[in-house]
């Protein structure tokens, strides 16, 4: 299949993810829409094109490992796992409810497909380095994909992980930065200016690729390139829009951790289902 | 009792603004949670005294220590769990050991974290902070006490950990109430020979509600509120043991290392008596409705009353 055709299929799938993100956060009346929606295209491409995973055998040894280092965006991962067949789609609406497997932040072992407990920012990427190192020690071929937030890059632990990954030459580790430019209290440029994320990772010894995190063809091409890089870990900086796909959530700080009311939910769903791909 | 529901985190944010003119050296440092911990109110009123530090709690503590050593009174306001665990090294070395007047607002203390689950619920912070020499630990019961303790903490010469909760809680003190550092507050006198309930923070309103349930049954329990967990009011604890004979402790925290543990440590040496600790057992929190989870662990008025009733009848929580 041509890349363009595959991109159209994945765009439709991303739309499904976006619907479930808004749907489950609305059902829970709690959770993080903005950062889940910004990562929806990235996560769709990974779960439906790149990750070597098997819902029938979620613990198979040679599976690729996916780490959501920005754990608060777990609705996007839960949606991907459910649509990929790891658990029933109907369970998505139990998000954040008592006794639910869909915890407010991902918990390892609680739900098939969750490799690492995250939610405390900066924790996931360190574990991703460990997972990649393990593959190296076992001479295994699986890869580790980690998705980080740009606000998360404020945590010092991220840069401790970045140095370790370079030291061990972990070219089986690909970190994707969801660069939506917003964090809890405002724009990253105002909160703690990052300057150039690519330059920072390059200075830490990583190979860096940049892409439009909402252009599926660009995502497919860039992730394809990332797989070919050897000798160093790879950072993909994805330019994204927080709340992407729901007009009134886009680039709005307010939608970092807020649930839509009934009216907002209806509008969001209409936009996601009917809007341009 | 005044029952108006107010979130202590909001009372804290308002108090910072109110007392800012009183303490010109006071500044606020925020690791990207000001709209959550309500220091955004201070940011709006005093932007030149507000430092946005990004998602980098450990650095924020170090910077605060630096500011404090030059005469400033910095408040670092963050989620309790990320202060007590992520930034612990800096708090221990740069704040507790130096004794600098860095003030910590442990917001979202205890269970209520907006369904955040294990990573966001802070039920070990009192244990962690209690182990640090020189750390004063304040656990206000309501918005009135939160306001008063914000001023009290700012005034104190050394480090302070003020624990504020996210959810709305009933107001139990009238506006004239002034907490005394290191002194328990008597909420119900009770009578000798009956049970005493010793509680902290938002649990104290529930302890009072439990006492009122029991009073209707003829059981007159003493209720002591510990707005200061460290230094602990040992006299009040020992007197409760001697006069009431049996004690229930209640806390929005693990039973390990918090108020219940502090009470047991003191009583074991000074006035041994039967103690039942109510709090979260040795578990991590999960997502869910706060009220349901509190009730699951007996941390509501009915659960507290039941524990006191069993103890008064001479039986432990397991009926032993």
Tens digit of pLDDT for each residue in A75-87? 999 999 999 999 9
B9 and B153 in a common domain: yes
Q: Give me the phi and psi of A75, to 5 degrees please.
A: -55, -35
**Final residue belonging to a domain, choices B134, B149, B171:** B171
- Residue B289: list chain A partners with CB under 8 A: 97-98
Helix (H, G, I), strand (E, B) or coil at A185: coil
pLDDT, residue B315, reads 57
Which residue of chain B has the CA closest to A71?
A: B119
Pairing of strands B136-138, B228-230: antiparallel
**pLDDT per residue as tens digits for the range A202-223:** 999 999 999 999 999 999 999 9
B230 and B199 in a common domain: yes
Cα–Cα nearest to B303, from B207, B219, B224, B218: B207
Number of separate domains in chain B: 2
Euclidean distance between CA atoms B35 and B77, whole angstroms: 11
Yes or no, beta carbons of A192 and B56 under 8 Å apart = yes
Query: Mean pLDDT score of chain B, rounded to an integer?
Result: 96
Minimal C-alpha gap between B87 and chain A (Å): 11
B200 and B129 in a common domain: no
Euclidean distance between CA atoms A171 and A166, whole angstroms: 9
Name, in order, each residue with C-beta under 8 angstroms of B303's C-beta and a sequence gap of 6 or more: B278, B295, B297
B189 and B119 in a common domain: no
Cα–Cα nearest to B248, from B172, B316, B165: B316
pLDDT, residue B2, reads 62
Yes or no, beta carbons of A104 and B33 under 8 Å apart = no
pLDDT, residue B193, reads 80
The answer to whether B142 touches B205, Cβ cutoff 8 Å, is yes
**pLDDT per residue as tens digits for the range A2-19:** 999 999 999 999 999 999
B189 and B167 in a common domain: no
Yes or no, beta carbons of B35 and A185 under 8 Å apart = yes
Residue B318 counted as domain residue: no
- Name the residue range of residue B127's domain: 2-171
Residue B219 counted as domain residue: yes
B96 and B14 in a common domain: yes
Residue B286 counted as domain residue: yes
pLDDT, residue B145, reads 98
Minimal C-alpha gap between A235 and chain B (Å): 20
pLDDT, residue A1, reads 85
pLDDT, residue B9, reads 97
The two most distant CA atoms of chain B are separated, in Å, by: 60
Residue B290 counted as domain residue: yes
Above 90 in pLDDT, residue A201?
yes
pLDDT level of residue B317 (50, 70, 90 thresholds): very low
Above 70 in pLDDT, residue A132?
yes
- Residue A185: list chain B partners with CB under 8 A: 30, 32-35, 40, 52
The enclosing domain of B105 has a CATH number of 3.40.50.970
Residue B146 counted as domain residue: yes
Instruction: Name the residue among A30, A71, A190 with its Cβ closest to that of B114.
Output: A30
Query: Quick one: what percent of chain A has pLDDT higher than 90?
Result: 98
What is residue A71's DSSP assignment? G
How is chain A split among helix, strand and coil, in percent rounded to 5? 50, 10, 40
pLDDT, residue B220, reads 95
Minimal C-alpha gap between A91 and chain B (Å): 15
B264 and B161 in a common domain: no
pLDDT, residue B318, reads 43
Number of separate domains in chain A: 1
B153 and B273 in a common domain: no
Residue B129 counted as domain residue: yes
Residue B257 counted as domain residue: yes
Above 50 in pLDDT, residue A146?
yes
The enclosing domain of A173 has a CATH number of 3.40.50.970
Euclidean distance between CA atoms A45 and B3, whole angstroms: 52
Above 50 in pLDDT, residue B98?
yes
**pLDDT per residue as tens digits for the range A50-75:** 999 999 999 999 999 999 999 999 99
- Name the residue range of residue A201's domain: 3-274
- Residue B286: list chain A partners with CB under 8 A: 98-99, 103
Above 90 in pLDDT, residue B316?
no
Minimal C-alpha gap between A6 and chain B (Å): 36
Cα–Cα nearest to B142, from B313, B9, B303: B9
**Catalytic hit among B4, B18, B57, B217:** B57
pLDDT level of residue A49 (50, 70, 90 thresholds): very high
B139 and B13 in a common domain: yes
Yes or no, beta carbons of A185 and B52 under 8 Å apart = yes
pTM given for the model: 0.96
Task: Summarize the confidence of residues B193-222 as an average pLDDT.
Answer: 96
Cis peptide before B252 (omega within 30 of 0): no
**Final residue belonging to a domain, choices B114, B149, B171:** B171
Instruction: Name the residue among B56, B81, B288 with its Cβ closest to that of A155.
Output: B56
- Active site annotation includes B57: yes
Query: What is the arrangement of strands in the sheet containing B185-188, beginning at the earlier edge strand?
Result: B185-188, B222-226, B195-200, B246-254, B274-280
Euclidean distance between CA atoms B316 and B289, whole angstroms: 28
Euclidean distance between CA atoms B203 and A149, whole angstroms: 36
Above 70 in pLDDT, residue B128?
yes
Helix (H, G, I), strand (E, B) or coil at A168: coil
Above 50 in pLDDT, residue A42?
yes
ipTM (interface pTM): 0.95
pLDDT, residue B3, reads 78
Residue B319 counted as domain residue: no
**Number of other CB atoms surrounding residue B273 within 10 Å:** 18
Task: Summarize the confidence of residues B48-75 as an average pLDDT.
Answer: 98
Query: Quick one: what percent of chain B has pLDDT higher than 90?
Result: 96
Instruction: Name the residue among A31, A118, A183 with its Cβ closest to that of B32.
Output: A183
Helix (H, G, I), strand (E, B) or coil at A150: coil
B209 and B100 in a common domain: no
Which residue of chain B has the CA closest to A158?
A: B56
Q: Would you state the structure tokens that stand for residue B234, as one six-digit string?
A: 């040992």
Above 90 in pLDDT, residue A167?
yes
Helix axes of B259-270 and B234-244: crossing angle, nearest 10 degrees: 70
Above 90 in pLDDT, residue A277?
no
Yes or no, beta carbons of B82 and A120 under 8 Å apart = yes
The enclosing domain of B201 has a CATH number of 3.40.50.920
**pLDDT per residue as tens digits for the range B257-299:** 999 999 999 999 999 999 999 999 999 999 999 999 999 999 9
Euclidean distance between CA atoms B104 and B120, whole angstroms: 17
B110 and B47 in a common domain: yes
């Amino acid at each position: 299949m041509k890349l363009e055709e595959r991109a159209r299929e994945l765009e439709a799938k991303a739309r499904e993810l976006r619907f479930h993100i808004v749907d489950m956060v609305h059902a829970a009346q709690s959770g993080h829409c903005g950062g889940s929606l910004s990562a929806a295209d990235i996560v769709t491409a990974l779960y439906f094109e790149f990750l070597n995973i098997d819902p029938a055998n979620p613990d198979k040894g040679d599976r690729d490992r996916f780490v959501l280092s920005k754990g608060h965006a777990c609705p996007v991962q839960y949606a991907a796992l459910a649509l990929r067949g790891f658990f029933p789609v109907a369970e998505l609406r139990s998000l954040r409810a008592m006794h639910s497997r869909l915890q407010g932040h991902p918990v390892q072992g609680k739900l098939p497909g969750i490799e690492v407990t995250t939610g405390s920012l900066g924790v996931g990427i360190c574990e991703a380095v460990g997972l990649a190192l393990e593959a190296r020690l076992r001479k295994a071929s699986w890869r580790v994909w980690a998705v980080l937030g740009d606000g998360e890059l404020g945590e010092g632990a991220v840069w401790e992980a970045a140095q370790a990954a370079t030291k061990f030459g972990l070219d089986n580790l690909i970190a994707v930065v969801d660069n939506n430019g917003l964090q809890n209290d405002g724009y990253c440029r105002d909160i703690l200016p990052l300057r150039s994320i690519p330059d920072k990772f390059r200075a830490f010894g990583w190979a860096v690729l940049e892409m439009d995190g909402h252009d599926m063809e660009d995502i497919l091409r860039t992730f394809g390139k990332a797989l070919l890089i050897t000798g160093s870990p790879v950072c993909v900086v994805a330019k994204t829009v927080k709340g992407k796909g729901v007009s009134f959530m886009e680039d709005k700080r307010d939608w970092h951790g807020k649930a839509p009311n009934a009216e907002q939910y209806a509008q969001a769903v209409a936009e996601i289902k009917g809007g341009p791909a | 009792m005044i029952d108006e529901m107010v979130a202590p985190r909001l009372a804290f944010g308002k108090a910072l603004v109110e007392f800012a003119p009183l303490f010109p050296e006071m500044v606020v440092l925020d690791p990207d949670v000001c709209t959550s911990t309500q220091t955004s109110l201070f940011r709006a009123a005093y932007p030149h005294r507000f430092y946005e530090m990004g998602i980098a709690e450990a650095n924020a503590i170090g910077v605060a220590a630096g500011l404090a050593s030059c005469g400033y009174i910095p408040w670092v306001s963050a989620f309790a769990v990320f202060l007590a665990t992520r930034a612990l090294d800096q708090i221990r070395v740069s704040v507790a050991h130096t004794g600098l007047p860095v003030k910590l607002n442990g917001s979202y203390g205890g269970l209520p974290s907006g369904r955040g689950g294990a990573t966001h619920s802070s039920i070990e912070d009192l244990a962690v902070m209690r182990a640090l020499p020189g750390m004063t630990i304040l656990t206000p019961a309501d918005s009135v006490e939160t306001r008063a303790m914000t001023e009290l903490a700012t005034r104190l010469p050394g480090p302070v950990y003020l624990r504020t909760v996210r959810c709305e809680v009933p107001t139990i003190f009238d506006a004239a109430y002034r907490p005394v550092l290191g002194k328990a507050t008597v909420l119900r006198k009770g009578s000798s020979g009956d049970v005493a309930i010793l509680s902290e923070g938002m649990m104290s309103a529930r302890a009072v509600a439990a006492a009122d349930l029991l009073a209707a049954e003829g059981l007159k329990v003493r209720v002591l509120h510990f707005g200061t967990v460290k230094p602990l009011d040992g006299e009040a604890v020992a007197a409760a043991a001697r006069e009431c004979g049996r004690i229930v402790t209640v806390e929005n925290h693990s039973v390990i290392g918090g108020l219940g543990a502090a009470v047991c440590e003191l009583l074991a040496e000074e006035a041994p008596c039967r103690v039942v600790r109510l709090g979260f057992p040795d578990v991590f929190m999960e997502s869910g409705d706060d009220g349901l989870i509190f009730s699951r662990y007996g941390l509501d008025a009915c659960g507290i009353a039941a524990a006191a009733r069993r103890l008064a009848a001479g039986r432990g929580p397991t009926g032993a």
